[in-house]
């Protein structure tokens, strides 16, 4: 069977079919749950657990603003019902039904695994299909270390569907998934232990943020940092982990959050002429084209960001380029922000201070405390900070990092300035910042930068 276009993966790849290509015969291939990681086991359901957890933290900390309050009960089953039964599962089921139905007659949905058996030729189940164009939007999956294979454990794909909140939970890993679920389950009542090989959680972030966050993490969770697991075994209803220093941790459940593996290893990419790097990431050029003629890749399959908003952007670019081969546009990876929805929340864009110093530029850096602006003062905030790094001569913002209340929202002004190349001084002074909103943290961080060059023309006082 031959198709004009074949799409493997129903995350961002599922958005490629549109009125612009409804005249094409399209095959969509999905071996897992329709909709991909973000909608089913990633961004969206996790944040629907994060928000109630944030509410719990606010209630528990309300005494700092002279409010005496307490959490009476968390209805775990009702939380799951609202998130999965009412929202997530119907979206996934509805999406698959839509692609199977009469509403999209030009689309054939294959609900099986696919692999290359030749150039632009795929084996799907027992059938071989070919395509003029193929898009690989195959994503990633959780990495499971050998020592826990065969021992009961969870990943992000199963932890949110536990029948009850565990009394004790051990999380293996120190990255974004680990600290987000640590926040969720500790807020919901679990005693959480984190085991991480690195001596610091979120070690790839800016050092100022890492130091501040690790202080807060140590106050919330039992941290076993700089440690590895030597052995794992089931003991009745519990899981026992033995660390490299002889420490034994016994808990009701274990969450493995130690990074992800590219699904390219399931595609037999060599047969399709598709090149990958040592980590399995599919190699693409500036336009999303792989090394194989007519084969494209996008999202986690081919970029290092592992962010849904990047995958969505790449999907739009690849869809345009397939439809307009004489008017290609490049992938946009400028000023890509990311958020970590833990406690406290974190957001970042651009370079860390260490990365910026490695460029050899003359820098100006400002760290602004939330508690030193009016709204942060009202919140009695003693933790939140916004850090901005800029070129002291040109005024270019090189990076920004926020830790604290609504950090993932507060990062957006920095993203805007960096995307459009606005001088930090112009951005701070030539627009209004509503007083006393928390965005004054951003304004004051920018105003706190010290420059070695004259002010740009047109700068307001």
Choose the catalytic residue: 2, 324, 333, 435: 435
Q: Which residues contact 387 (CB under 8 A, 6 or more apart)?
A: 206, 208, 209, 353, 365, 366, 367, 368, 400, 401, 402, 445
Two tokens, residue 262: 């590219």
What three-state secondary structure class fits 266?
helix
**Residue 324 known to be catalytic:** no
Per DSSP, the residues of 234-258 read EETTEEEEEETTS-EEEESEEEE-S
> Within a 13 Å sphere around the CA of 109, how many CA atoms are in the beta-carbon half?
23
Q: Which residues contact 261 (CB under 8 A, 6 or more apart)?
A: 140, 141, 142, 143, 280
Rg, C-alpha atoms of the chain: 24
Q: Are strands 121-124 and 114-118 parallel, antiparallel or unpaired?
A: antiparallel
Two tokens, residue 129: 């299909």
Distance CA 219, CA 34 (A): 39
Residue 454: left if φ>0, alpha if ψ -120 to 50, beta else—which one?
beta
Distance CA 287, CA 419 (A): 19
Two tokens, residue 64: 């700092």
- In 3D space, the residue among 274, 258, 254, 30 whose CA is nearest the CA of residue 139 turns out to be 30
- In 3D space, the residue among 24, 9, 16 whose CA is nearest the CA of residue 124 turns out to be 9
Active site residues: 435
């Amino acid at each position: 069977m031959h198709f004009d276009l074949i799409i493997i993966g129903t995350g961002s790849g599922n958005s490629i079919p549109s009125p612009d290509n409804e005249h094409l015969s399209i095959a969509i291939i999905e071996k897992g749950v329709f909709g991909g990681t973000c909608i089913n086991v990633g961004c969206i359901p996790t944040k629907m657990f994060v928000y109630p957890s944030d509410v719990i933290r606010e209630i528990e900390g309300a005494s700092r603003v002279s409010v005496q309050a307490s959490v009476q009960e968390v209805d775990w089953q009702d939380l799951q019902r609202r998130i999965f039964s009412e929202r997530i599962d119907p979206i996934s089921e509805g999406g698959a039904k839509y692609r199977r139905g009469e509403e999209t007659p030009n689309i054939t949905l294959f609900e099986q695994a696919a692999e290359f058996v030749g150039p632009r030729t795929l084996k799907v189940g027992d059938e071989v299909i070919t395509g003029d164009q193929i898009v690989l939007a195959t994503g990633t999956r959780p990495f499971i270390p050998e020592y826990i294979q065969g021992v009961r454990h969870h990943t992000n794909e199963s932890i949110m569907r536990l029948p009850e909140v565990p009394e004790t939970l051990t999380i293996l890993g120190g990255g974004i998934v680990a600290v987000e679920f640590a926040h969720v389950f500790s807020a919901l009542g679990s005693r959480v232990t984190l085991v991480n090989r690195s001596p610091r959680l979120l070690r790839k972030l800016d050092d100022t943020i890492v130091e501040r966050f690790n202080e807060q993490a140590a106050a919330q969770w039992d941290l076993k940092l700089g440690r590895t697991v030597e052995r794992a075994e089931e003991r009745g209803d519990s899981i026992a982990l033995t660390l490299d220093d002889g420490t034994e941790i016994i808990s009701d459940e274990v969450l493995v959050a130690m990074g992800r593996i590219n699904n390219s290893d399931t595609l037999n990419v060599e047969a399709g002429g598709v090149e990958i790097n040592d980590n399995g990431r599919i190699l693409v050029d500036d336009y999303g084209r792989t090394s194989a003629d007519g084969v494209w890749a996008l999202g986690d399959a081919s970029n290092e960001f592992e962010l849904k908003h990047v995958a969505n952007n790449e999907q739009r670019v690849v869809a345009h380029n397939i439809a307009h081969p004489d008017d290609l546009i490049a992938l946009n990876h400028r000023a890509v922000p990311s958020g970590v929805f833990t406690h406290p929340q974190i957001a970042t864009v651009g370079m860390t201070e260490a990365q910026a110093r490695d460029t050899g530029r003359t820098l100006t850096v400002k760290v602004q405390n939330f508690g030193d602006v009016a709204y942060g003062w009202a919140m009695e905030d003693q933790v939140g900070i916004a850090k901005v790094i800029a070129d002291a001569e040109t005024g270019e913002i090189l990076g920004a990092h926020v830790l604290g209340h609504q950090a993932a929202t507060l990062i957006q002004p920095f993203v805007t300035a960096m995307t459009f190349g606005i001088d930090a001084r112009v951005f701070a002074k030539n627009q209004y910042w509503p007083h006393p909103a928390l965005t004054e943290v951003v304004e004051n961080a920018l105003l706190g930068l010290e420059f070695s060059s004259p002010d740009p023309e047109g700068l307001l006082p």
